[in-house]
Amino acid sequence: MIGLFSLGVAVTGAASFAVLNKSSRQSSTLPLSEAPKIHHDTSAANIKAACQEFERIIGKDHISSERTDLVTHSGSDYQSYAWTEENAILSNVILYPETTEQVSQIVKVCFRRRLPVTPYSGGTSIEGQYIPQFQGVCIDFTRMNHIKEINPVDLDCTVQPGIGWVDLNDELASHGLFFPPDPGPGAMIGGMVGTGCSGTNAAAYGTMKDWVLSLTVVLADGTIIQTRQRARKSSAGYDLTRVFVGSEGTLGLVTEATLKLAVKPPHEVVAVCTFPTLRAAASAVREVASSGIQVAAVEILDEVQMRNINLAALTRLKWKEEPTLFFKFAGSDDFIVKHIAKKVGEITKRNGSSTYTFASDEGERNELWSARKAALWSMLAQRQSPTDKVWTTDVAVPLSRLPDIIELAKADIEESGLMGSIVGHVGDGNFHTLLLFPEEKRPIAEAVVHRMVDMAIEMKGTATGEHGIGLVKRDYLEKELGKETVDTMRAMKSAFDPMCILNCDKVIRMKPVEEQ
């Protein structure tokens, strides 16, 4: 009665309010110290009982607990996280559902039984997004690989999460359409939504955030929601679509995605030019941008990378081992596309480039672009041992600082003694270093990466332009965005997934480090 009585009068202190609301959290953020304790239950008895329920939902044939499956779903050598087969945490069981309804039923079981859930689609993420941290259940979306509809006039399509973007684009080509985000070739839509990925098309077309219209999502308690209808533009309530894009499966599991599509420009030109220095190349890109010329893509590869491509002999051409820009131009009109390509050629020449090779024929275009595509594989070809690791970083900075950070990063890699090359999405301030190292030199690689991230944050940039946070980058978040921002993200996570069963402890730490 005291509590209720105090409502009608002017209360000046905070203490009195506590009486009214002692059961509910009274702040907008959730510091780690106040996060609810995680109580998963992965006891053998709970797993066994759960599996009996899973069998009723998806049938015995779509459940696996074979060690080889569990291992391939537990990590890879291309992760920034120190995964090895020996020390891997394995899920207890892998489930292969076929429908949204099945995923919902599975998650309801996991919610009731407090079983941790790790989602898996293409397995190409490199920040540990699919590495299980607490055993439990892995949900593999491989069987949910259908295109449900393509609406050519509406420029959209609806697909399941297990379809790859390469397969989707093969199908769309017959309609003269394509889906622009182009990450690693094996990536599937589910994971692409999860990481909020991008690729070489991002400079002109934007990232995954810009190409998802609507999502069907299974929440932590099994509730199925759809975030939007199909209008290309909507202000109907909070932007849940973009809440889930980039949330790495920690807020909900995507079981269907309606994607915007673009008209495939009928004409395309690829141009390649080399520069005496990275800075000269960057300055050419800047002049192109500030003149308002729209390029479809512009990528930079450093001389180390060009040398690796020659060494690996993955392309038919022999390349100059100099900092190199790769341009794509595209449009509705052959004449215009060539006109723009020529104008850019004048700009690159003015900025010190001595060569400018360009191709409009499809075969020649693909040949030129093949070097850009071969970057990662040519680095992998340099491995001295099959267990050597490749760590691909992806810091991004405001455009003006890109030449500075690339130069600093190159000098630091050189000093470290590691092999490291640069591949950059120079149009949006994002670049990769590909660091090659044997496991015993991991501390050296780690130190290089940490220094690079520190520099990027110092320059008002980000630890990750497109690969996401996953595991290793969690502890950069506070430095980059501040503790309060991370505490706000944690409040969101806790609202969506109060028992932390969905990809728990990724993106945002939900468990204090000292308890790990």
- The distance of closest approach from Cβ of residue 68 to a copy of itself in the complex, given in angstroms and rounded to an integer, is 27
- The distance of closest approach from Cβ of residue 195 to a copy of itself in the complex, given in angstroms and rounded to an integer, is 6
Choose the binding region for a copy of itself from 289-297, 366-374, 380-388, 409-417 (rule: CB under 8 A): 289-297
Which of the residues 208 through 227 are near a copy of itself (CB under 8 A)? 209-210, 219-221, 223-227
Instruction: Please provide residue 117's backbone torsions phi and psi, each rounded to the nearest 5 degrees.
Output: -125, 130
Between 374 and 397, CB nearer to a copy of itself? 397
Q: Exposure of 231 by Cβ count < 10 A (0-12 exposed, 13-18 middle, 19+ buried)?
A: exposed
Between 20 and 63, CB nearer to a copy of itself? 20
Kindly give, in sequence order, each residue whose CB lies less than 8 Å from that of residue 382, ignoring residues fewer than 6 positions away.
308, 311, 312, 419, 436
Kindly give, in sequence order, each residue whose CB lies less than 8 Å from that of residue 422, ignoring residues fewer than 6 positions away.
278, 300, 301, 302, 304, 305, 406, 409, 410, 431, 432, 433, 434
Between 253 and 371, CB nearer to a copy of itself? 253
Provide DSSP, 235-263.
Answer: -SSS-HHHHHTTSTTSS-EEEEEEEE-EE
Which of the residues 309 through 368 are near a copy of itself (CB under 8 A)? 331-333, 335-336, 339-340, 343
How far, CA to CA in Å, does 70 sit from each of 63, 94, 405?
Answer: 11, 7, 40
Q: Which two tokens stand for residue 285?
A: 């890109």
- The distance of closest approach from Cβ of residue 311 to a copy of itself in the complex, given in angstroms and rounded to an integer, is 31
Kindly give, in sequence order, each residue whose CB lies less than 8 Å from that of residue 10, ignoring residues fewer than 6 positions away.
none
Q: How many residues are given for the chain?
A: 516
Between 240 and 374, CB nearer to a copy of itself? 240
Using CB under 8 A, which of 116, 119, 180, 196 touches a copy of itself? 196
Rounded-to-integer distance, Cα 253 and Cα 174, Å = 30
Buried b (16+ CB within 10 A) or exposed e, 403-429: bebbebbbebbeebebbbbbbbbbbbb
Which of the residues 497 through 516 are near a copy of itself (CB under 8 A)? 497-499, 507-508
How many residues sit close enough to a copy of itself to count as binding (CB under 8 A)? 137
Between 207 and 421, CB nearer to a copy of itself? 207
User: Going residue by residue from 457 to 476, which x/- string records binding to a copy of itself, judged by CB under 8 A?
Assistant: x--xxxxxxxxxx---x--x
Which of the residues 9 through 68 are near a copy of itself (CB under 8 A)? 9-14, 17, 20-21, 23-29, 36, 39, 41, 43, 45-46, 48-49
Residue 239 makes contact with a copy of itself by CB under 8 A? yes
Using CB under 8 A, which of 103, 106, 278, 396 touches a copy of itself? 396
- The distance of closest approach from Cβ of residue 330 to a copy of itself in the complex, given in angstroms and rounded to an integer, is 9
Residue 246 makes contact with a copy of itself by CB under 8 A? yes
User: Going residue by residue from 123 to 162, which x/- string records binding to a copy of itself, judged by CB under 8 A?
Assistant: ----------------------------xxxxxx------
End-to-end Cα, the chain, rounded Å: 44
Q: Exposure of 128 by Cβ count < 10 A (0-12 exposed, 13-18 middle, 19+ buried)?
A: buried
CA dihedral 99, 102, 107, 113 (to 10 degrees): -160
Using CB under 8 A, which of 186, 266, 417, 512 touches a copy of itself? 266
Which of the residues 73 through 112 are near a copy of itself (CB under 8 A)? 112
